[in-house]
Amino acid sequence: MKLNLRSFTQLTLASAIALMFCSSPVSAHASVKMPQLAKDTTLSKECKSDNWDEPTAPRHLYGNSWYVGTCGISVILIANPQGHILIDSGPANAFEGVSKSLRAIGVRLNDIRTILTTHEHHDHMGGVAQFQKASGATVLVRQEAVETMRSGKADRRDPQFEILSTFAPIANLKTISDGQMVKVGKTSIRNIPMPGHAPGGSGWTWKECENGVCHQLVFSDSLGSISDDVYRYSGEGGMAAALRASIARIGATPCEILITGHTGGSNILERLDAKAALVDNTACQKLAEVGLKNLELRLQKEAESKPTTAK
């Protein structure tokens, strides 16, 4: 692992992560079972809705990456002989369905060693506590999300604070720095800081290859500028500038296979079922354009209306 860090604090953190992910001998992880396409599964690919908890069959995504989410919420497994990586969990009541998807491709929950997260809302994070408990995995989050992940309760920095449900508090959290590279065996996954929809938002990008053909995968965080009735993106402490920067960042990220937290945001299930192209190197740009348009509309509405309460 290359270390190019300035402060001792960062060095300490990086060392801890390097130790956590890189220094264990291969033999210690020799028992990790790699996934395989399910030959026989009772899970159907059919989705009657885009409900967050409606189960659907697991799909092979690309290389060592697999879709194990529900009809409405994406959950990604990056298989690795040194310990699997899970991105997000779906809501709490999707835990059984997502676990079933993982089992259907032969993944044992205790082979998951790392859980990465997009943002601290119950629809994406509600099952993380259960997966962490079942696996003992380390959960990596940006600093801004730590308190909410630890307590399961958002605070007023979150645009949706007044309408959010709580989720089960998550244990074994480790803070990562913005843009940090997470290394597990031969896999390197880079954090993309994406505050704006929620304060602690993250996207993730990594490369997968099949038969010498490599593609850059991106799991983008949500770009939706939605809120409760009180919050103003343009108000004091509002996240308009942060969201604008996140939109620009994701739009500029090399991106060939896009996954979004809500399946409809990237039509990931249709693309995995070959109803649309899986690979599109303009997908992140297009996502950013939609996000920016929505933010501009939102700011225009705020400019036309008075704050509900003084902040």
Per-residue binder mask for Zn ion (CB under 5 A), 82-121, x = binder = ---------------------------------------x
User: By rule CB under 5 A, what count of residues binds Zn ion?
Assistant: 1
Q: Given the complex with Zn ion, which of 121 and 298 has the nearer CB atom?
A: 121
Query: Do the Cβ atoms of 127 and 152 come closer than 8 Å?
Result: no
* Distance of closest approach, residue 70 Cβ to Zn ion, in angstroms: 15
C-alpha angle 195-231-71 in degrees, rounded to nearest 5: 55
Q: Which residues within the stretch 120-149 sit at the binding site for Zn ion (CB under 5 A)?
A: 121
Query: Do the Cβ atoms of 122 and 154 come closer than 8 Å?
Result: no
Q: Given the complex with Zn ion, which of 113 and 121 has the nearer CB atom?
A: 121
* Distance of closest approach, residue 160 Cβ to Zn ion, in angstroms: 7
* Distance of closest approach, residue 10 Cβ to Zn ion, in angstroms: 29
* Distance of closest approach, residue 165 Cβ to Zn ion, in angstroms: 11
* Distance of closest approach, residue 197 Cβ to Zn ion, in angstroms: 6
Q: Given the complex with Zn ion, which of 58 and 238 has the nearer CB atom?
A: 238
* Distance of closest approach, residue 259 Cβ to Zn ion, in angstroms: 15
Q: What's the token pair of residue 27?
A: 């033999």
Q: Given the complex with Zn ion, which of 135 and 191 has the nearer CB atom?
A: 191
Q: Which residues within the stretch 191-250 sit at the binding site for Zn ion (CB under 5 A)?
A: none
* Distance of closest approach, residue 124 Cβ to Zn ion, in angstroms: 7
Q: Given the complex with Zn ion, which of 32 and 125 has the nearer CB atom?
A: 125
* Distance of closest approach, residue 195 Cβ to Zn ion, in angstroms: 12
Q: Given the complex with Zn ion, which of 160 and 216 has the nearer CB atom?
A: 160
| Side chain identity, residue 170 | I
Q: Which residues within the stretch 158-187 sit at the binding site for Zn ion (CB under 5 A)?
A: none
Residue nearest to Zn ion (CB): 121
HEC profile for the chain? CCCCCCCHHHHHHHHHHHHHHHCCCHHHHCCCCCCCCCCCCCCCCCCCCCCCCCECCCEEEECCEEECCECCECCEEECCCCCEEEECCCCHHHHHHHHHHHHHCCCCHHHEEEEECCCCCHHHHCCHHHHHHHHCCEEEEEHHHHHHHHHCCCCCCCCCHHHCCCCCCCCCEEEECCCCEEEECCEEEEEEECCCCCCCCEEEEEEEEECCEEEEEEEECCCCCCCCCCCCCCCCCCCHHHHHHHHHHHHCCCCCEEEECEHHHCCHHHHHCCCCCCCCCCHHHHHHHHHHHHHHHHHHHHHHCCCCCCC
Q: Given the complex with Zn ion, which of 63 and 291 has the nearer CB atom?
A: 291
Q: Given the complex with Zn ion, which of 81 and 261 has the nearer CB atom?
A: 261
C-alpha angle 110-115-120 in degrees, rounded to nearest 5: 135
Per-residue binder mask for Zn ion (CB under 5 A), 31-60, x = binder = ------------------------------
* Distance of closest approach, residue 157 Cβ to Zn ion, in angstroms: 14
Q: Given the complex with Zn ion, which of 226 and 241 has the nearer CB atom?
A: 226
Which residues are at the interface with Zn ion (CB under 5 A)?
A: 121
